[in-house]
Structure 1
Amino acid sequence: MEHYRKLERMYLSANFNKEIYQSTTIHIEEEQATIQLTIEPKYFHALGAIHGSVYFKLLDDAAFFAVNSVVNDVFVLTTNFNINLVRPISEGTITAIGKVKFKSRNLFIAESSLVNEDGKEIAFGTGHFAKSKVLLTEEIGYK
């Protein structure tokens, strides 16, 4: 579906992702988004494993884009997101999988899980999302 491809291009063209998360890939389908990141030392904290902010970003982004897959007209906003860090990781590729769990006219809830190459969960999260007033247009990268 073209909506999913436009969301993928929007994600990959965001300045933050182009500058910091260059090894990221994303795939969006109905009510689900999958994001992969190859681990690099630039994501590490002082103990040599990925910083919690990386976990948060991947989990939030996967849940966010799962929700925006079912919202075709406007950009959604994260209103709340909670994460649980299960184990550290310092090498390989990690995958965040976000899925819509609840949707109504004004509220969406999505869960996401972050796994290593062996499919072992390293973190998970749940978020609440709401529609914004920002239209999905080329000006925000939706093209």
Structure 2
Amino acid sequence: MVRVADLESGKFWKHIGMSTIVGVDGITRIQLTVNEDLLQFYGNLHGGVIASMIDSAIAVVVNQQLDSGEGASTIELKVNYLSSISEGTLWAEGKVIKKGRNVVVAQGELKNDAGKLLAIGTATFMVRQMAR
């Protein structure tokens, strides 16, 4: 089974500065502090970073629900951008809506430190047996 530490140790996560934080409520969230390197031409956080945070938060919660020997990959992702972002610390959290034998449907939210909802997303993951 893929562990959160396995996901977090990926080069892409490190490249954009994502990390995981387990809250006092036991929920694992993705954290990222906006920096100049992540801004697009107009000075806002690039939409790909926002989508990556939501996808990663969903991946964390999906992987926590897999059985031993299973893995999961995103096969569809939809993101609604609700507000522009140019600074601050961001938090993304995922929630599984339905886990089937082969497919998992889940949702994610991205908020700032003040709790303002900045983006939402839904994703479908394909469950597969991991090679041994």
Give TM class, smaller chain: 0.7 to 0.9
**Alpha-carbon shift at residue 109 of structure 1 (Å):** 0.7
Q: Distance in 2 between matches of 1:28 and 1:11?
A: 14
Q: Distance in 2 between matches of 1:83 and 1:53?
A: 10
Is it true that 1:25 corresponds to 2:19 in the alignment? Answer: yes
User: Do the aligned residues in 1 keep the contact of 2:54 with 2:120 (CA within 8 Å)?
Assistant: yes
Residue in structure 2 matched with residue 140 of structure 1 by the alignment: none
Matches within 5 A, 1:56-135: 56-72=51-67, 73-135=69-131
**Alpha-carbon shift at residue 63 of structure 1 (Å):** 0.8
**TM value normalised by structure 2:** 0.87
Structure 1: runs of 5+ lacking an equivalent:
138-143
User: Do the aligned residues in 2 keep the contact of 1:67 with 1:100 (CA within 8 Å)?
Assistant: yes
Q: 1:45 aligns with which of 40, 43, 47?
A: 40
Moved over 6 A (4+): none
Q: Distance in 2 between matches of 1:38 and 1:133?
A: 34
Give the letter aligned to residue 116 of structure 2.
Answer: K
Taking only aligned residues, the RMSD between alpha carbons, in angstroms, comes to 2.0
How many matched pairs? Answer: 128
SS of 1:89's equivalent in the other structure is coil
**TM value normalised by structure 1:** 0.81
Q: Distance in 2 between matches of 1:106 and 1:91?
A: 38
